[in-house]
Amino acid sequence: MRSSNFDKYPATRIDGKLIMGWETIVNRLQDEWGDSPVWAVDLYVGSYEEDFVEAFAATGREIVQTRSLMIGDEAVKELTDRFITDDVLFGYMSNIRLEEYFCEKKVEEARSRLADGGKYVVIGTAAARIAPSAPVAYADMARWEIQQRFRRHEVKALGIDNSAEGPSLQYKRGYFNDWNICDAYKDKLFQLGRISFWIDHNCRACPKMITDAQFRQGLQRTVSRPFRVVPFFDPAPWGGQWMKEVCGLDPSVENYGWCFDCVPEENSLYFLAEGERFELPSQDVVLWHCRELLGHYVWSRFGRSFPIRFDFLDTMGGGNLSVQVHPTSEFAHRNFGLAYTQDESYYLLDAGDDAVVYLGLKEDVCPEEMIDDLRRAQRGEIMFDAERYVNKFHARKHDHYLIPNGTVHCSGHNSMVLEISSTPSIFTFKLWDWGRLGLDGKPRPINVERGSKVIQWERRTEFVKNELCNRFEVLKEEDGALEERTGLHRNEFIETRRHTFSRPVTLHTEGGVNVLNLCQGESALVESPTNAFEPFEVHYAETFIIPACIGEYTLTPGGNNKNNEPCMAIKASVRG
Reply yes or no on whether the pLDDT at 1 is more than 60: no
For residues 554-568, average pLDDT: 83
8 belongs to a structural domain: no
| Alpha-helix residue ranges (DSSP H) falling in 8-142 | 22-33, 49-57, 73-84, 104-114, 127-130
CA-angle at 528, arms to 526 and 529, nearest 5°: 125
Q: Report, as an integer, the average pLDDT of 433-457.
A: 89
In this structure, is residue 115 part of a structural domain?
yes
Same domain, 109 and 210: yes
Mean pLDDT score across all residues of the chain: 95
Q: How far is CA 21 from CA 207, 333, 411, in A?
A: 5, 45, 45
Q: Is 170 helix (H, G, I), strand (E, B) or coil?
A: helix
**Residue 213 CB coordination number (10 Å):** 12
Domain-located, residue 9? no
The residue count for the chain: 576
Q: How far apart are the C-alpha atoms of 357 and 313, rounded to whole Å?
A: 12
> How far, in Å, CA of 105 to CA of 91, rounded?
31
Region 191-215 average pLDDT:
97
- Which secondary structure element, helix H or strand E, spans residue 388, and what is its range? helix 386-389
Q: Both 401 and 446 in a single domain?
A: yes
* Rounded Cα distance, 121 and 43, in Å: 13
Return the pLDDT at 465. Answer: 97
Domain check: are 244 and 99 in the same one? no
pLDDT tens digits, residue range 339-379? 889 899 999 999 999 999 999 999 999 999 999 999 999 99
Q: Does residue 562 surpass a pLDDT of 70?
A: no
CA distances to 47, 57, 281, 334, 397 from 189, rounded to whole Å, are 18, 25, 16, 32, 48
DSSP summary character for residue 462 = H
Residues 168, 45 within the same domain: yes
Do residues 146 and 294 both lie within one domain?
no
| Residue range 38-54, pLDDT digits in tens | 999 999 999 999 999 99
Section 513-542 average pLDDT: 97
Give the C-alpha separation, 104 to 73, whole Å: 16
Asked if 301 and 378 sit in the same domain, the reply is yes
Based on the fold, state whether residues 284 and 397 are members of the same structural domain: yes
Q: Is residue 536 part of a domain?
A: yes
| E strand segments, 255-362 | 258-262, 268-273, 276-281, 308-314, 323-325, 344-351, 356-361
Same domain, 38 and 149: yes
Under the banding of pLDDT at 50, 70 and 90, the label for residue 548 is very high
Please indicate, yes or no, whether residues 261 and 362 belong to a single structural domain of this protein.
yes
Domain boundary among 196, 223, 250: 223
Under DSSP, is residue 480 helix (H, G, I), strand (E, B) or coil?
coil
pLDDT band at 560 (very low <50, low <70, confident <90, very high): low
Question: What local confidence, expressed as pLDDT, does residue 423 receive?
Answer: 78
In a domain, 285, yes or no: yes
Number of domains in the chain: 3
- Biggest CA–CA distance in the chain, Å, is 80
pLDDT in tens, 305-340: 999 999 999 999 999 999 999 999 999 999 999 988
Give the number of C-alpha atoms closer than 13 A to the C-alpha of residue 426, restricted to the C-beta side: 19
DSSP state of 520: E
Asked if the structure places residue 6 within a domain, the reply is: no
Residue 2 in domain: no
Of the three residues 467, 495, 511, the one that is the final residue of a domain is 467
pLDDT reading at 427 higher than 90: no
- Tens of pLDDT, residues 451-469: 999 999 999 999 999 999 9
Task: Name the DSSP class of 61.
Answer: P
pLDDT at 2 over 60: no
Q: Is the pLDDT of residue 209 over 60?
A: yes
Helices 22-33, 49-57: crossing angle, 10 deg rounding: 60
Q: What pLDDT shows up at residue 12?
A: 98
In a 10 Å sphere around its CB, with 0-12 CB exposed, 13-18 middle and 19+ buried, how is residue 117 labelled? exposed
The model's pLDDT over 84-133, given as tens digits with 9 standing for 90+, comes to: 999 988 999 999 999 999 999 999 999 999 999 999 999 999 999 999 99
pLDDT of residue 71: 98
Can you tell me the mean pLDDT for 487-507? 95
Q: Are 159 and 124 in contact (CB under 8 A)?
A: no
pLDDT in tens, 164-186: 999 999 999 999 999 999 999 99
CB 284 within 8 A of CB 264: no
Same domain flag for 453 and 402: yes
| In the chain, % of residues over pLDDT 70 | 98
Provide the pLDDT for residue 563: 64
Structural domain of residue 480, as residue ranges?
A: 473-574
440: pLDDT strictly greater than 80: no
Q: Mean per-residue pLDDT for 136-145?
A: 96
| 255 in a structural domain | yes
> What pLDDT score was predicted for residue 461?
98
pTM of the complete model: 0.96
Which of 437, 452, 467 terminates a domain? The answer is 467
pLDDT of 79 higher than 90 = yes
pLDDT at 488: 87
Looking at the structure, tell me whether residues 175 and 28 fall in a common domain: yes
The SS3 call for residue 176 is helix
Whether 302 and 441 map to the same domain: the answer is: yes
Sheet holding 136-140, edge to edge: 19-20, 208-211, 195-200, 136-140, 38-43, 120-124, 62-65
Give per-residue pLDDT as tens, 228-257.
999 999 999 999 999 999 999 999 999 999
Write the CATH number for 377: 2.60.120.10
CATH of the domain at 186: 3.40.50
